[in-house]
C-alpha cells in the first residue's frame, strides 16, 4: 500500500493519514479498539464475527472526546464484509500495524509499522549523503 501525505496538512491521528474516507477511518478505529479491549490479539473467528457485525449494520456506542465535553453517541455502522477485509484489514496487515500468526490463527497489534517508518527515514538519510552522480542531459 502506498501512503501519500502532505507534510503541511497531516491529520490529527494515524487513521486520517492512512485511510481515504470517513467511514474507513471509523471502521479501522473500531477494529483497533476491539483488539485493544481483547489485550491486542483476537482470533480468526472473532475477526469474522466483527466483520459480520459490520456487514449486518449493528449500532455501535462511541465516546467522542474531541470536544470540551466527553459525549457518548450511538451510530449505526454498516460496512460490507468483503470490503472490510480488502480495504481495512489487508492494508493494516501489509503496513505492519497488525500481524497474523498462521500457527495460532490470531491477529495481533504490532509495532512493525513504526520500525518500518524509521527504516524508511534512514534510507532517505543515506540517499541524501551519497555523492552526486555525474550526468548529462542532451537534446535529441
Tens-digit pLDDT string for the chain (140 aa): 677 888 888 888 899 999 989 899 999 999 999 999 999 999 999 999 999 999 988 767 777 666 677 777 777 788 999 999 999 999 999 999 999 999 999 999 999 999 999 999 999 999 999 998 888 888 87
Q: Give the model's pLDDT for residue 4.
A: 80
Domains of the chain, by residue range, sit at: 14-111
DSSP assignment of 52-68 = HHHHHT-EEEEEE-SSS
Beta carbons of 47 and 107 less than 8 angstroms apart: yes
Q: Give the model's pLDDT for residue 33.
A: 92
Q: Give the model's pLDDT for residue 66.
A: 67
Q: Give the model's pLDDT for residue 10.
A: 85
Q: Give the model's pLDDT for residue 84.
A: 95
- pTM given for the model: 0.81
Q: Count CB atoms within 10 A of the CB of residue 130.
A: 7
Q: Give the model's pLDDT for residue 67.
A: 67
Using CA atoms, how far residue 30 sits from 3, 94, 138, in Å, is 21, 19, 55
Q: Count CB atoms within 10 A of the CB of residue 79.
A: 20
Q: Count CB atoms within 10 A of the CB of residue 24.
A: 18
Amino acid at each position: 500500500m502506498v501512503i501519500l501525505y502532505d507534510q503541511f496538512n497531516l491529520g490529527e491521528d494515524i487513521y486520517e493519514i492512512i485511510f481515504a474516507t470517513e467511514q474507513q477511518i471509523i471502521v479501522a478505529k473500531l477494529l483497533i479498539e476491539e483488539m485493544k479491549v481483547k489485550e491486542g490479539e483476537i482470533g480468526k473467528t472473532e475477526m469474522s464475527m466483527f466483520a459480520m457485525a459490520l456487514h449486518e449494520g449493528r449500532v455501535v456506542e462511541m465516546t467522542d472526546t474531541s470536544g470540551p465535553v466527553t459525549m457518548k453517541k450511538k451510530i449505526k455502522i454498516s460496512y460490507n464484509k468483503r470490503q472490510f477485509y480488502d480495504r481495512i484489514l489487508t492494508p493494516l496487515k501489509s503496513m505492519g500495524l497488525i500481524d497474523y500468526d498462521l500457527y495460532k490463527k490470531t491477529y495481533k497489534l504490532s509495532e512493525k509499522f513504526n520500525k518500518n517508518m524509521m527504516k524508511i527515514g534512514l534510507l532517505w538519510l543515506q540517499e541524501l549523503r551519497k555523492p552526486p552522480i555525474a550526468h548529462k542531459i542532451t537534446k535529441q
